[in-house]
Amino acid sequence: MILQGYNHWIFDMDGTLTMPVHDFDKIRTELGVEEGHSILEAIENMSDGKAIETKRKLTRIETDLANQASPQPDIESLLGRLINRGCKVGILTRNDEQIAHRTLQAAGLDIFFEDRVIIGRETCKPKPDPAGVLYLMEMWHTTAESTIVVGDYLHDLKAGFEAGATTVHFDSSEVYEWPEYTHHRVSSINQLLAMI
Ligand SMILES: [Mg+2]
């Protein structure tokens, strides 16, 4: 029970709660965003007209992907156990919240999360900024000491780490990049279940 004493759990959505379906290189190509650049930040730097058109395209791509979402193996067991123990669970995603809801519904995971704890890019500055982690901690009247952030990418780990929370890097490939922002590593949700 390595992870005892953490009562507030913040999850990344795509690739953590759900199976990864986002091919970000392909999305970048479709949107005309240069390789290696972050999509949201690239849109921010576009002219108004181009930004609106690109956002529309992005929403269409994200909606298609959301409809294909499926749950990560064992994630229902993990969420169920945490909730039964009285832990709070929330989601911090770089998606917009409507897409997040659609994704969770398609994956059958919407039953585990109240609407107010699904934090997308319209509520807080997106990850890697720690704003969303701090926002949920404030909502829950809790501190970083009791908070865990679970994610499969640098943005998740950095946001959690910079908010002072404990981070768990979920990486089925077991490469485990970004050790500087990582406290614990798991290659499956089943492994995480064994730690709580
Ligand atoms: Mg992810």
Domain spans of the chain, in order of start: 8-19+70-193, 24-67
Digit-coded pLDDT (tens) for 147-191: 999 999 999 999 999 999 999 999 999 999 999 999 999 999 999
Q: Which CATH class is domain 8-19+70-193?
A: alpha beta
Distance between Cα 13 and ligand 1 center (Å): 6
For the whole model, what pTM was predicted? 0.90
Please report the DSSP string for 99-168 in residue order: HHHHHHHHHT-GGG--GGGEE-TTTSPPTTSTHHHHHHHHHTT--GGGEEEEESSHHHHHHHHHTT-EEE
How close is the Cα of 16 to the center of ligand 1, in Å? 6
Distance, CA 155 to ligand 1 centroid (Å)? 8
Question: What is the whole-number distance in angstroms between the Cα of residue 88 and the centre of ligand 1?
Answer: 20
- Average confidence (pLDDT) over 66-93: 97
DSSP code string of 8-34: EEEE-TBTTTB-----HHHHHHHHTPP
